[in-house]
């Protein structure tokens, strides 16, 4: 079956999710995924270097988007409000994939040690990118990685709530998570940060 490069990648991703969910990651080969997607194994490897990467497409683009959003946040904000503003500015990226497919992907990764390890590597890359972007905003080097790790924790919580079917929109999930983070530091200011919001 022919198709554009994007179409083929999507078919491979959906086929991988289906097979990994039914058989398990370890009992599925790249050739199995290719066959279900109606392409050759050679075509599979033109798109993805191994069985894991079919589930991590778009990682580089997301990492760049997060770093750019941090860099472009309004001047004068403290580190955590900077991250809230940055995450709000790219919130649509976090929900661009179908929720049911995203939830299935999460289940497959959570059930597979090799994929969990790859997910942790992805998180580390994003954390490093956020840290670097904060340091370029003159956040001290002993603060930037701590803020980045807090930001990743917020992103993780918001994503898990979204995957679980929370009815709040993604910006609200992010803002509420940052407010809860603020309440850990100072319960009297639990409503948290006041970044410049984008319309």
Write the pLDDT tens digit of every residue in 30-60: 999 999 999 999 999 999 999 999 999 989 9
- If 0-12 CB within 10 Å is exposed, 13-18 middle and 19+ buried, where does residue 51 land? buried
pLDDT of residue 186: 74
pLDDT of residue 3: 60
Percent of the residues in the chain that have a pLDDT greater than 90, as a whole number: 82
pLDDT of residue 124: 97
pLDDT of residue 9: 93
Identify the structural domains of the chain with CATH numbers, from first to last.
5-54 (1.10.10.60), 58-187 (1.10.357.10)
Residue 145 to residues 45, 151, 190: CA-CA distances in angstroms?
Answer: 35, 10, 23
Distance from C-alpha of 1 to C-alpha of 92, rounded to nearest angstrom: 31
Stretch 71-93: mean pLDDT, rounded?
Answer: 96
pLDDT of residue 190: 47
pLDDT of residue 199: 44
């Amino acid at each position: 079956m022919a198709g554009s490069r994007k179409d083929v990648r999507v078919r491979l991703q959906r086929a991988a999710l289906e097979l990994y969910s039914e058989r398990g990651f370890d009992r599925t080969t790249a050739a199995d995924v290719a066959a279900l997607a109606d392409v050759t194994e050679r075509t599979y490897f033109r798109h993805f270097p191994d069985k894991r990467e079919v589930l991590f497409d778009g990682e580089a683009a997301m990492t760049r988007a997060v770093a750019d959003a941090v860099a472009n946040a309004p001047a004068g904000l403290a580190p955590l409000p900077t991250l809230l503003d940055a995450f709000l500015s790219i919130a649509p990226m976090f929900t661009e994939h179908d929720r049911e497919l995203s939830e299935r992907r999460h289940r497959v990764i959570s059930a597979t040690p090799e994929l969990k390890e790859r997910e942790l590597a992805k998180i580390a890359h994003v954390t490093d990118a956020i840290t670097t972007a904060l340091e370029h905003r003159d956040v001290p080097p002993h603060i930037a990685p701590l803020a980045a790790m807090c930001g990743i924790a917020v992103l993780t919580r918001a994503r898990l709530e979204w995957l679980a079917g929370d009815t709040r929109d993604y910006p609200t999930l992010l803002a509420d998570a940052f407010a809860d983070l603020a309440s850990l530091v100072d319960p009297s200011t639990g409503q948290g940060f006041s970044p410049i919001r984008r319309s």
